[in-house]
Amino acid sequence: MNCTKCKTKAVIDLPRHNAAFCKICFNGYIHDQVAKAVKSDRMFGKDDRILVAVSGGKDSLALWDILLKMGYKADALYVNLGIGSYSEESHRKVVTFAETVAAVHGAKLHVHTVQEEAGAGIKELAQIIHRPACSTCGTIKRYQFNRVALEGEYDVMATGHNLDDEAARLLGNVLHWQDEYLDKQSPNLPASVEGFARKVKPLYRLAERELAAYSVLNRIDYIVEECPMAKGARTILYKEVLNRLETESPGTKQTFYWKFLERQKQAAPAAASMAEKDQAMLHPCSVCRQPTTAEICSYCKMMARAKTHAS
């Protein structure tokens, strides 16, 4: 198998593009796809300061690597969830990447440790407040990324969601016709109100398998193990179903998700209607000033309960 572009020996084949690439051309393909996403969805420019949400997994570390190599100003935030050896190892991988690769580009890593602020890791905290671990985790990550983005005056926040993630999420949202979630499934969510950071997903044109290959070929040391709390999640099943369809018919995932985005752009701009809805419902939390629909935001309520439990 030879590279479609330069005819030297290929290291990866991409059935959905009917192509194969050597390492250099594959890296070029990855950067081109990110450049296309950034440009067509007007995500950010070379002068913008980007905050990348990193978990230690392949997608977010690859995203940080790609943005730095493309010449963007990208710092990162890692949230240590306090999930035993999984958090210890993922934290180590992120720090190693920050010290060996990101530092060369002058980029900085911010770290937030859940245990330090809440006095408990995610699992314990979820028990204390009687909520599922993943929803507790979601509230904390959203809050911390928003806080660091605003305090550090970042222009935009970027996450490593890839084509597989977005297609699986779309399948779930369509199966249950969750209109509100469908409206928000855009790779570029503007800052709807003051106090909310803009969020983008520059990897939405790239498949999980391609990002794993990019990480291995570029010697990015990432945590292979998934978060142990993800076991049994619906999205894993949706990904399996989509993978089956993709094997039978390459290109299914991209057609499914990209066509959805095309339709979304043609219809009333979701972002604009969302902004109106948010503007009407949100005001600053009386404790921390981040936007919320209640008097006190769910993060501050959570922390208050954790502190009462500890005392």
C-alpha span between 279 and 292 (Å, rounded) = 10
C-alpha span between 155 and 148 (Å, rounded) = 11
Residues 285-304 that bind Zn ion (CB under 5 A): 285, 287-288, 297, 300
217 binds, among Zn ion, ligand Q46, none (CB under 5 to 8 A by kind): none
300 binds, among ligand Q46, Zn ion, none (CB under 5 to 8 A by kind): Zn ion
Q: What single DSSP character describes residue 106?
A: T
Which one among 53, 118, 137, 213 touches ligand Q46, defined by CB under 6 A? 137
Which one among 134, 174, 245, 287 touches ligand Q46, defined by CB under 6 A? 134
Residues 189-228 that bind ligand Q46 (CB under 6 A): 227
Nearer to Zn ion, 209 or 283 (CB): 283
Q: How far is the CB of 57 from ligand Q46 (least distance, A)?
A: 9
**From 129-137, 144-152, 183-191, 216-224, span contacting ligand Q46 (CB under 6 A):** 129-137
Residues 231-270, one symbol each (x = binds Zn ion by CB under 5 A, - = not), give ----------------------------------------
Can you read off the two tokens belonging to residue 100? 């060996």
Instruction: Find, among 214, 224, 223, the residue nearest to 65 by Cα.
Output: 214
Q: Is 229 in the site for ligand Q46 (CB under 6 A)?
A: yes
82: left (phi over 0), alpha (psi -120 to 50) or beta: left
Q: How far is the CB of 239 from Zn ion (least distance, A)?
A: 34
Bridge-based pairing of strands 49-54 and 156-158 is parallel
C-alpha span between 150 and 138 (Å, rounded) = 18
Q: Going along 69-148, which residue ranges are E strands?
A: 73-80, 109-113
Residues 98-127 that bind ligand Q46 (CB under 6 A): 122
Instruction: Find, among 236, 214, 220, 104, the residue nearest to 165 by Cα.
Output: 236
Nearer to ligand Q46, 67 or 229 (CB): 229
Q: Quote the radius of gyration of the chain (alpha carbons, Å).
A: 20
Contacting residues toward ligand Q46, per CB under 6 A: 122, 133-134, 137-138, 227, 229-230
